[in-house]
Amino acid sequence: MAEAGPFGGFERAVAARYLLARKGERFVSVIAGFSLVGIALGVATLIVVLSVMGGFRQELLGRILGLNGQLGISAAQGTLPDDPALVARLRALPEVAQAAAVVEGQVLLTTDAGASAGGLVRGIAPEDLRAKRIIADNIKAGDLARFQGEDAIVIGTGLARRLDIGLGDRVTLVSPQGRVTVFGTVPRLRAYRVVALFEVGMEEYDSGFVFLPLAAAQLFFQMPHAVSQIEVYLKQADRSAEAAGAIRVALAGEPVRIADWQDANGGFFQLVQVQRNVMFLILTLIILVAAFNIVSSLTMLVKDKGRDIAILRTMGARRGAILRIFLLCGAAIGGAGTLAGLGLGLLFCANIEAIRQWLMRLTGTTVFDPNVYFLTRIPAVVDPFEVAQVVGLGLLLSLLATLPPSWRAARLDPVEALRDE
């Protein structure tokens, strides 16, 4: 028998015949099926975990930078002057997308019903708050057009639930820095009316941030004609170091400090990246274990087909043809498992939030607690490059797992095989 070409019709036909077990040969097919399922689950799990962790990082990064900016400029000592010209100089830089003066301070929020909660007040110009898309695009009640004057306040939905207040209700702010009178230190407090509720999807911000008009915040914190810092939003967040250098040049002679978002949050995002890499290694072991099942199933197949291999060899089939037959068997199992895992993983990622809600209704428990994970929903961002890596990894491990039993089948001595039969 002349040897067929690489993965020709002869090899494909024999490999398909071996994979479609007849009566009495089901055990090998069962093991091959478990191998296929194992690879599919490993690939799907790896895709889902990488997508969720990538989405977790992207969502956190977007919300943190959307509210705080990439750079924060503060005075070396004390406060910055409320100078529109200074903000205009920053906005004129080519690296800067937006700059806003901010007054910031911790307060205690109380209601007439006796509820109280701590919060962070940010005083900001109404037009600058409307320019914050993460706030302006996530207003759940009210209107930012009413965010003006000396008694307007915007709070998060989480904080509103804790205080049991809604749109139009009044909330009193109490500053820890009291004012000195002839009767001693008196806490500074003032009531404001809620004009809008926002929900950015990050529990820490929805339950802790409060916005006041800049003039009202300056009056409350007794900072006339001064601000705490200037928030700078860049056109490219990953070029914050270069932008900080350009700002230092533009503000030459000004005694300021520039805080980079990577310095303030770099440790947190580095931890997320380390966890992601560790999970990748751990879940790769699932695919590796499933690949070892391919070794066992093909080894049993080679032993079961010893007589057939010997007959093919005596009819003229060379060792290369036998090697390719069993390579095709293992590659079919690994390839089918990898493709099934790819489809399952992508389907799970596309419906992950619906699955979470279904599990919560089914079990009556909280899945993905926002107080622990900061986000109110499970994010999943599928990276095509990462998916290609996972698919390539599944195919590579499957192919490597087929080599030992395929090599053993190709080296089988037909005389010894027929003698054993």
Q: What percent of the chain has pLDDT over 90?
A: 16
What's the confidence (pLDDT) of residue 126?
Answer: 92
Residue 182 pLDDT > 60: no
What's the confidence (pLDDT) of residue 172?
Answer: 92
Tokens of 182: 């002839």
Neighbour tally for 314: CB within 10 Å: 13
- Contacts of the segment 139-142: beta carbons below 8 A, 24+ positions apart: 139/196, 139/197, 139/198, 140/197, 140/198, 140/199, 141/166, 141/167, 141/196, 141/197, 142/167, 142/194, 142/195, 142/196, 142/197
Instruction: Tell me the β-bridge partners of 193.
Output: 152, 170
Mean pLDDT of 127-147: 90
What's the confidence (pLDDT) of residue 1?
Answer: 43
Residue 134 pLDDT > 70: yes
What's the confidence (pLDDT) of residue 266?
Answer: 62
Quickly tell me which residue has 């992508």 as its tokens.
346
What's the confidence (pLDDT) of residue 323?
Answer: 79
pLDDT tens, position by position, 217-256: 999 988 888 999 988 888 887 777 788 888 888 887 678 8
pLDDT tens, position by position, 298-318: 777 777 767 777 777 777 777
Tokens of 390: 């996972």
Residue 4 pLDDT > 50: no
For 179, the 3-state DSSP assignment is strand
Residue 405 pLDDT > 70: yes
If you count them, how many residues does the chain have? 421
Residue 2 pLDDT > 60: no
What's the confidence (pLDDT) of residue 179?
Answer: 65
What's the confidence (pLDDT) of residue 214?
Answer: 92
The separation between CA 43 and the C-alpha centre of its own chain, rounded to angstroms, equals 18
On the 0-12 / 13-18 / 19+ scale of CB atoms within 10 A, 168 is exposed
Q: E-strand spans in 248-390?
A: 256-260
Residue 5 pLDDT > 90: no
